[in-house]
A and B are shown apart, each in its own frame.
Chain A
């Protein structure tokens, strides 16, 4: 009886401690995307300048699909120059940068594009279909889609020139 009493506390506490240890090991901010390594969902983007583009038209091209918003400060402001630089550096090497503006007002989005002199195609996602189809849960998020149409990598948060260069080079 005394042995049983001594054991009951460790027996009750051990599973709780194990669960806590498992919980501390995981990163609560990390939400792995089931899309990485799989075919990118098709999309059609009507850009602010009137053009239309989509996954089908861009087959054989590596795509940097960036989800952003003009209210997303500071992360979207930090990465905008890097995205423009990557677009200019790689547009002649079979890479296209696309911006999907989500949960935003058109005037604010256009002002953002003007502010950073973004020359790559940018368009709104008025009903959130593209962002939901890509499992987006915040901005900025960026998907690197390889020439075969598979999602090579997903980046959450502001991109840097180094990350952009490394991931684009991996796709080429």
Chain B
């Protein structure tokens, strides 16, 4: 149980601390990655990278142009935020109240795992220990009859 929780925690920390932009090498890869982080303003829940709309196409071109001009991904993100607000980012920035959105799913998963573990452990411990002490003492009349029956079956 603890190892599962620890693994989940490690995955969460790695995921939260290492944004993927650093993995992009070429300018085109960086442009695609940045476009995938931006919300298409004229679409329903599509990124600039995924949208076939003209505006998204123009935004992709602008991202490429800015990268060619030597701007780094952080500057380009900041440019779009300065024009559209944080709304333009598909994933909220990892700061302030936004941390709730980032951490809540992991909290829910950990809570769920905890509840499942608690329920499973309780049911296992119940089935392992039938709890002799909890049962009422056997009536001596039935005890002697049981013994007799058992002897009979044994023969």
Q: Do these two chains interact?
A: yes
Please tell me if B127 contacts chain A, counting CB pairs below 8 Å.
no
Closest B residue to A135 by beta carbon equals: B83
Q: Is the CB of B84 within 8 A of A137?
A: yes
Please tell me if A50 contacts chain B, counting CB pairs below 8 Å.
no
Please tell me if A23 contacts chain B, counting CB pairs below 8 Å.
no
Q: Is the CB of B58 within 8 A of A134?
A: no
Q: Identify which of residues 98-138 in chain A touch chain B, using a CB-to-CB cut-off of 8 Å.
A: 103, 127-129, 131-138
Number of interface residues of B (CB under 8 A): 14
Q: DSSP class of A's interface residues: helix, strand, loop or mixed?
A: loop
Q: Is the CB of A132 within 8 A of B83?
A: yes
Closest A residue to B43 by beta carbon equals: A137
Please tell me if A55 contacts chain B, counting CB pairs below 8 Å.
no
Please tell me if A33 contacts chain B, counting CB pairs below 8 Å.
yes
Q: Identify which of residues 51-83 in chain B touch chain A, using a CB-to-CB cut-off of 8 Å.
A: 54-55, 58-59, 61-62, 81-83
CA distance A103 to B55 in the complex (A): 7
Q: Is the CB of A34 within 8 A of B61?
A: no
- 14 A-B pairs within 8 Å (CB atoms) are namely A31-B85, A31-B87, A32-B85, A33-B84, A34-B81, A34-B83, A41-B83, A128-B54, A128-B55, A128-B58, A131-B55, A132-B58, A135-B84, A137-B42
Q: Is the CB of B83 within 8 A of A134?
A: yes
Nearest CB on B from A80, distance (A): 21
A138: which of B41, B61, B85 is its contact (CB, 8 Å)?
Answer: B41
B83: which of A32, A35, A127, A138 is its contact (CB, 8 Å)?
Answer: A35
Q: Identify which of residues 21-57 in chain A touch chain B, using a CB-to-CB cut-off of 8 Å.
A: 31-35, 41
Q: DSSP class of B's interface residues: helix, strand, loop or mixed?
A: helix
CA distance A16 to B104 in the complex (A): 11
Q: Which residues of A contact B87 (CB under 8 A)?
A: 31
CA distance A24 to B119 in the complex (A): 36
Closest B residue to A8 by beta carbon equals: B115
CA distance A138 to B43 in the complex (A): 10
Q: Is the CB of A132 within 8 A of B42?
A: no
CA distance A137 to B83 in the complex (A): 11
CA distance A108 to B36 in the complex (A): 32
Q: Which residues of B contact A103 (CB under 8 A)?
A: 54-55
CA distance A86 to B54 in the complex (A): 31
Nearest CB on A from B97, distance (A): 11
Nearest CB on B from A48, distance (A): 19
CA distance A22 to B87 in the complex (A): 17
Q: Which residues of A contact B41 (CB under 8 A)?
A: 136-138
Closest B residue to A38 by beta carbon equals: B82
Q: Which residues of B contact A135 (CB under 8 A)?
A: 83-85
Q: Which residues of A contact B82 (CB under 8 A)?
A: 34
